[in-house]
Amino acid sequence: MHPRTTVGGRTEAAATAFTSSRDWQQVRESWTGDADPREGASSVTTTRPRDAGGVSGGPRTVEPRWGWPAPWPLAPPPPPRSGDPRLAAPRGTPAGLGLGGLSRLYRESAQSPWRDALVREDLEDGSLARHVAAGVRGLCASPAVFARRLGSSARYREQLSWLTSTGCSAAQVYREVAAADVQAACAVLGPTFEGSPEPDGLVSLDVAPPFVASTRTAVAAAHRLHHRIDRPNFIVGIRATAQGVPAIQALVTAGRSVNATSICSLRRYRTVLEAYVAGMEAFVARGGNPANVYGVATFAVALVDTSVDSRLAVSTDSRAAGLLGAAGVAQATLAHRLFTDCFSTSRWRRLADLGARPQRLAFSTAGTDVTSPQVRRYVRELVLPNTVHALSKAGIAALDGNPAPVSTLPAKTQRADAVLADLAHLGIDLDVIGLALEDKAAAQVQGSFARALARIGSSEPR
């Protein structure tokens, strides 16, 4: 059973120390138009529309009614207990889903299968609960997906209408809807969180793209998100960029649980590891309990493969064809070596003796360009111990039956070293590509999110 403390996993002593510090005052100066995250987690501060005389009514507080289990008339059923005979053929299970595959992946290979992406349909029809019953142990949610669905899905119409009628902006509407769905997902995964010796049962949601351009705004937005969602198994996502890594360290220092997302290179991963360990040391020095902080570092495996394969496709070297689709898995395998080395040092053991948990290494293989054969290959080749694999619904379906036999880790590492050496011979530097992908991916997500908010805004009352 996990120990519990205050919101976001901070002890009272650490919270008091942080909120009285200069760092906290600097963070507060960066807030614009939002409530102090130490005040009123369940309310939204808005501006009253102008009355007939054209005079603004000033600020007011809107109390959203969309907590768990609302807005669903019937809450999604809790995950059935393990071994329940009704799991033999759960209604609505995606075609091809083998209940043994997900659970055996965790029991026999020490890898936790998580689900990538969350939409309200998954909560209303119980599909997320069925996946959890089948062995899914965590969830990663995307702001861009939320915003797109909010602007196009009828499932959000009632909540959208109510929020906009109270004067909420498009950004506030997004935040309230995302918070409601993430809270519901946290409830579905609550039994996993409570009963797992590993930091499983977590639900991750990235900070909204407009706030990740600078370290200060990312830190402030992450604190607001933690306070608004207010669930012990919520973990905030921060993109691992040049601006994001210092934010990750600042948040861990404050005792916040953080998922470093969209890592595209080993160079960046090394800085993420250092940020987590240094942040944990600082948190412990301030009197915090490290057992209440959860960390995840997520590699964007499919994104790296797409970029590298586009270069290999135009290469005239005879080795290029044999390297197609190999870069992402090779880099992920070598990241696992860095993970093992980092959390085996005497520096980390001092923290572990105080209850600190390693920052879990996760692999994301979801993407619009990922084909079914690629999904099956990722499922087979990315089985590495003490890691997380964030799977799309297609990836979950690919786990029908038992996971494929896993080669020994030394053999995988040796093969990964050879792949990176061959890529270097062809002039392909994964560190350089990874840094370029950070900027490209951030711009794409920012654009997608902005367009989705514009669609939401177009539906606001005039």
Burial class (CB in 10 A: 0-12, 13-18, 19+), 424: exposed
Looking at the domain assignment, is residue 31 inside a domain? no
Cα separation, 322 vs 454, in Å, equals 44
- HEC string of the chain equals CCCCCCHHHCCHHHHHHHHCCHHHHHHHHCCCCCCCCCCCCCCEEEECCCCCCCCCCCEEEECCCCCCCCCCCCCCCCCCCCCCHHHHCCCCCCCCCCHHHHHHHHHHHCEEEEEECCCHHHHHCCHHHHHHHHCCCEEEECHHHHHHHHHHCHHHHHHHHHHHHCCCCHHHHHHHHHHHHHHHHHHHCHHHHHHCCCCCCEEEEECCHHHCCCHHHHHHHHHHHHHHHCCCCEEEEEECCCCHHHHHHHHHHCCCCEEEEEECCHHHHHHHHHHHHHHHHHHHHCCCCHHHCCEEEEEEHHHHHHHHHHHHCCCCCCCHHHHCCCHHHHHHHHHHHHHHHHCCCHHHHHHHCCCCCCCEEEEECCCCCCCHHHHHHHHHHCCCCCEEEEECHHHHHCCCCCCCCCCCHHHHHHHHHHHHHHHHHCCCCHHHHHHHHHHHHHHHHHHHHHHHHHHHHHCCCC
Q: Whole domain around residue 255: which residue ranges?
A: 97-458
Q: Domain for residue 215, yes or no?
A: yes
> Do the domain assignments include residue 241?
yes
* Beta-carbon contacts of residue 217 (< 8 Å; ≥ 6 apart): 30, 211
**Phi, psi dihedrals of residue 115, rounded to the nearest 5°:** -105, 140
What's the CA gap between 126 and 87, in Å, rounded? Answer: 13
CA contacts within 13 A on the Cβ side of 257 = 32
Closest CA to 26 of 272, 231, 283, 254: 254
CATH of the domain at 423: 3.20.20.70
Task: Name residue 461's amino acid.
Answer: P
Q: Is 45 part of any domain?
A: no
The answer to whether residue 26 is domain-embedded is no
With vertex at residue 198, the alpha carbon angle to CA 195 and CA 200, rounded to the nearest 5 degrees, is 70
Asked if residue 404 is part of any domain, the answer here is: yes
Alpha-carbon span 380 to 101, nearest angstrom: 11
Structure tokens at 106: 């965790």
Residue 350: C-alpha distances to residues 143, 297, 354 (Å): 36, 21, 7
* Interior/surface letters 216-254, b for 16+ CB within 10 angstroms, e for the rest: bbbbbbbbbbbbbbbbbbbbbbbbbbebbbbbbbbbbbb
pTM of this structure: 0.79
β pairing state of 138-141 and 258-263: unpaired
The predicted pLDDT at position 400 comes to 61
Q: How many domains does the chain have?
A: 1
Within-domain flag for 431? yes
List CB contacts of 170: < 8 A, sequence separation 6 or more.
453, 454, 456, 457, 460
Can you give the pLDDT at residue 197? Answer: 79
The residues with which 221 forms a beta bridge, in sequence order, are none
Residue 363 lies in a domain: yes
Euclidean distance between CA atoms 338 and 273, whole angstroms: 9
Residue pLDDT tens, the chain, 462 long: 434 333 333 333 433 343 344 443 443 343 333 433 333 333 333 333 333 333 333 333 333 333 333 333 333 334 433 333 322 323 333 333 344 678 888 888 889 999 998 988 889 889 899 999 989 999 999 888 888 887 677 888 888 888 888 888 888 888 998 999 999 999 999 999 988 877 899 999 999 999 998 999 999 999 999 999 999 999 999 999 999 999 999 999 999 999 999 999 999 999 999 999 999 999 999 999 999 999 999 999 999 999 999 999 999 898 999 999 999 999 999 999 999 999 999 999 999 999 999 999 999 987 756 777 788 888 888 889 899 999 888 788 777 655 555 656 778 899 999 999 999 999 999 999 999 999 898 888 888 888 888 887 765 443
Whole-angstrom distance, CA of residue 193 vs CA of residue 121: 22
